[in-house]
Amino acid sequence: MGLSGNSRRIPDAPPDPRVPDLVRRHAAHRFEKPIQAHNQSAFDWLSERIGLRPTVVIDAGCGTGVSTLRLADRHPKTWVVGVDKSAARLSRGIGYDAARIGHQRGRILWVRADLVDFWRLALAADWRVARQYLLYPNPWPKPAHLSRRWHGHPVFPTLLTLSRTLTLRTNWRTYAEEFGEALATVRRPYAIEDECGGDLTPFEAKYRASGHRLTELRVGAEPRSQAAPSTS
């Protein structure tokens, strides 16, 4: 996908009324899909480097990985982990070598993995997530694709248990509003803001250049400080 400033806007729509029931249903059932071997390997690779029960910032669906570098500036004292399922995007952005399991620059690490497995592994391993960033997730705007949006997916309860704090950015306001409805269903407080400060990601820059309205949803305040990791 090119990153020029001519991207088409997705029209606003009312939040899908099925969201609360879907969230309740997912919260009531264990999500049992088996973990795929390559996701387990990626997670093990990370664990070997950052240890047991690490405190981390996660850039979930980091695309080219450029945003992970920017998030590391915002969170100077913790491990920062970028995860994306596309090796092509990661290699384009940060020179990720698809033949290897992961890529590390000091306290910043990237892996190619599917978040559906990655989040479940991180929760099972008791990771301490200082902040989870979901920057411009694929919107899947068709009604039939509701369960592909993160708040409509069976992994949503896992994501929330793992993430005391979270920042979501989107160029489709409906996505943020629905995500908010899903949070309200499980009584998690959140705030929605109409502006996103600074271009954190290539998609953000593209959407801004195309005149899109950018929305941020936040759960919890930005952490002030985290424990310094050892990068030896």
Ligand X SMILES: C[S@@+](CC[C@H](N)C(=O)[O-])C[C@H]1O[C@@H](n2cnc3c(N)ncnc32)[C@H](O)[C@@H]1O
Q: Applying CB under 6 A, which of residues 43, 46, 58, 89 lies at the interface with ligand X?
A: 89
Nearest distance from C-beta of residue 129 to ligand X, angstroms: 16
Q: Which residue stretch of 35-43, 60-68, 184-192, 209-217 sits at the interface with ligand X (rule: CB under 6 A)?
A: 60-68
Of the pair 79, 133, the CB lying nearest ligand X is at 133
CA of residue 114 relative to chain centroid, distance: 11
Listed as own residue / partner, the contacts of 144-149 with beta carbons closer than 8 Å and 24 or more positions apart are 146/16, 146/18, 146/19, 146/22, 147/22, 149/175, 149/178, 149/179
Q: Which of these segments, 21-29, 50-58, 59-67, 70-78, binds ligand X (CB under 6 A)? A: 59-67
List the one residue out of 117, 115, 122 whose CA is nearest residue 47. 122
d(CA 151, CA 164): 15
- 47, 86, 104, 226: which one binds ligand X (CB under 6 A): 86
Beta partners for 167?
133, 218
Cβ at position 228, least distance to ligand X in Å: 26
Pairing mode, strands 108-112 and 102-105: antiparallel
Is residue 231 a contact point for ligand X (CB under 6 A)? no
> Nearest approach, Cβ of 115 to ligand X (angstroms)?
4
Segment 13 to 52, residues that bind ligand X, using CB under 6 A: none
Give CA–CA dist 52/32, Å, rounded. 24
- 95 to 154, contacts with ligand X by CB under 6 A? 114-116, 135-138
Q: Which residue's CB atom is positioned nearest to ligand X?
A: 63
Give least dist CB 135 to ligand X, A: 4
Contact call for residues 136 and 167 (beta carbons, < 8 A) = no
84 binds ligand X (CB under 6 A): yes
Q: At 204, which helix (H) or strand (E)?
A: helix 202-209
| Site string (160-189) toward ligand X, x via CB under 6 A | ------------------------------
| Contacting residue, 61, 102, 152, 157, with ligand X by CB under 6 A | 61
Q: Which is closer to ligand X, CB of 7 or CB of 226?
A: 7
Specify whether the CB–CB gap between 78 and 226 falls below 8 A: yes
Which residues neighbour 110 within 8 Å (Cβ) at sequence distance 6 or greater? 62, 65, 68, 81, 82, 83, 84, 90, 94, 96, 102, 103, 104
Contact residues toward ligand X (CB under 6 A) are 61-63, 67, 83-86, 89, 114-116, 135-138, 201-204
